[in-house]
Amino acid sequence: MERKVETQRTIADYLTVENPKVGFLAKVDELINWKPIETLLKKKYRRTKDATGEDAYPALMMFKAMLLQRWYNLSDPALEAALYDRISFMQFCGLSVSSAKPDETTFCRFRNALIRLQLDTKLLDAINQQFEKSGLLIRSGAIVDATVVQSSRRPKKKIELLAEDRKEDEVSESGPECKINFSDDEEAGWIKKMGTSTYGFKGHVMVDAQNGFYLGAHTTAANRFDGKELGRLLEENSLLQKAPVFADKAYWSLENRNLLKEKGLFNGLMKKAVRGKPLNKVDKLINQLISTLRYKVERGLGTLKKDYGLARARYLGTRKLDYEFAMSGLCFNIKKAINLSF
C-alpha cells in the first residue's frame, strides 16, 4: 500500500503559508486536472514498498516532485533539500512541514521506474490531451527540427574523423570510421557543427505549428542525419489530415516528400538546391516563408537547453535522454499553457 503522507496542517504551516492566489505552482494546480494523471500512475506504477520495506510514497506526489526537479533544474540531492526548505514545494506535493520527505535515492528509483514502464511519454500525452480538450493545443500543423545534446561523459580521446552536421553523405548510422571509443556512453556519437566537435546525441523534436507546444521527440547518436528521422517522428505523433509539416532543408528528400504525400500531410519542407539546379525566385520565396515559421521550434529548443538543462545529458544512453526530453517537454507545455491561460 502507499505510505500515508501527513497532510494535516500544523501551526508552522499556518505561520508560513503563502498566498494561494499568487505563484506559478498554484496556477499549475488550477490548470491541471490531476485525477486522470493519478489514475494513469496507479495503473502502471504499482510499487507498494520502498527499498527499506516501508510503504511507498504516493505516485502522484513523486511525479509532482519530478516536475519540480525539471522546472527548477535541480539535482536529486537539491530536490530533497528543497522539499524541506520550500513551503510552496511542500504544498504543491501535498506535504506539510512535519511530513516525512522522500530522499534522493527514492527520486532516482522512481525516475528509473517511469523510464522502465515508459510512463514518461504516456504522461506527456495525458497532459497534452488536457490542453487539446481546452483548445490550447491544436494538431493542425507541426514543425520539425533537431538539436545536438552533449554527452554526460567526456571522452578520454578525441577522434579525428567526424561527421559534419547536415551533410548526409558524410553521416552513416554506424558513425565515423573509427573503431576506438574511449567513453562509457556507448550510444553517443561524434558530430562537427560550425567547426566545433561534440560527442553526444541528437534530439529529433516536433512542436505544433500554432503555439509551439512540444508534441514529442526521440534521440539518436549525434552523427545520425536529421532527415532520416522524419518518418519516425510522424509515426510517434499524430496530426490532423492535410496538416502542414514544416522543416528546414535537411529534410528535403524524395523519400520524405513521398512519405508526407502517403500520410495525407501538406509538404512544408524547405527546398534544397542541387548541383546544376539552383532554386528559382519562387522556391526562394517559399523557403523564406517557411523560415519565418521555424522560430517556434528554434525558440522552444533554446528554452529546453537554457532553462531545462538539455544542453548536456544528465544520464547515459538514448532511453534516459528520451525521458529528459519527455519530462522537460511536459514541463515546457505546462508553462506555456499557463502563459496563455492567465
Are the beta carbons of 136 and 211 closer than 8 angstroms? yes
Distance in angstroms between the alpha carbons of the first and the last residue of the chain: 38
3-state DSSP assignment of residue 313: coil
Whole-angstrom distance, CA of residue 117 vs CA of residue 193? 35
Cα dist. 196→150, 164, 172, 191, 276 in Å? 12, 10, 19, 8, 30
What pLDDT sits at residue 153? 87
Whole-angstrom distance, CA of residue 158 vs CA of residue 295? 33
* pTM score: 0.87
Question: What mean pLDDT comes out for the span 142-161?
Answer: 82
Band of pLDDT at residue 155, cut at 50, 70 and 90: confident
pLDDT digits (tens, 9 = 90+) for 88-116: 999 999 998 888 899 999 999 999 999 99
User: Residue 248: which of 199, 301, 196 has the closest Cα?
Assistant: 301
What pLDDT sits at residue 14? 47
- The amino acid occupying position 77 is P
What mean pLDDT is reported for the chain?
A: 88
Are the beta carbons of 138 and 192 closer than 8 angstroms? no
Percent of the chain with pLDDT over 90: 73
pLDDT digits (tens, 9 = 90+) for 215-240: 999 999 999 999 999 999 999 999 99
Whole-angstrom distance, CA of residue 237 vs CA of residue 288? 26
Q: How many helices (H) and strands (E) does the chain have?
A: 13, 6
Whole-angstrom distance, CA of residue 177 vs CA of residue 159? 10
Helix 295-307, helix 281-293: angle, nearest 10:
40
3-state DSSP assignment of residue 186: coil
Are the beta carbons of 290 and 270 closer than 8 angstroms? yes
Whole-angstrom distance, CA of residue 267 vs CA of residue 280? 18
What pLDDT sits at residue 8? 54
pLDDT digits (tens, 9 = 90+) for 287-334: 999 999 999 999 999 999 999 999 999 999 999 999 999 999 999 999
The CATH superfamily holding the domain 138-341 is Ribonuclease H-like superfamily/Ribonuclease H (3.30.420.10)
Spell out the domain ranges in the chain: 11-117, 138-341
Whole-angstrom distance, CA of residue 91 vs CA of residue 98? 12
3-state DSSP assignment of residue 147: strand
Whole-angstrom distance, CA of residue 320 vs CA of residue 324? 6
Q: Which residue has the cell 565515423?
A: 176
Alpha carbons within 13 angstroms on the beta-carbon side of residue 113 total: 19
Q: Give DSSP secondary structure letters for 121-164.
A: HHHHHHHHHHHHHTTS---S-EEEEEEEEE-SS--SS--S--PB
pLDDT digits (tens, 9 = 90+) for 168-214: 644 444 444 444 556 788 899 989 888 888 999 999 999 999 999 99
3-state DSSP assignment of residue 57: coil
Q: H or E element: which one contains 178?
A: none
For 272, phi and psi rounded to 5 degrees?
A: -115, 130
User: Residue 184: which of 149, 155, 219 has the closest Cα?
Assistant: 155
DSSP-assigned letter for residue 73: T
Question: What mean pLDDT comes out for the span 253-258?
Answer: 97
- Mean pLDDT is lowest, of 48-52, 142-146, 246-250, 337-341, for 48-52
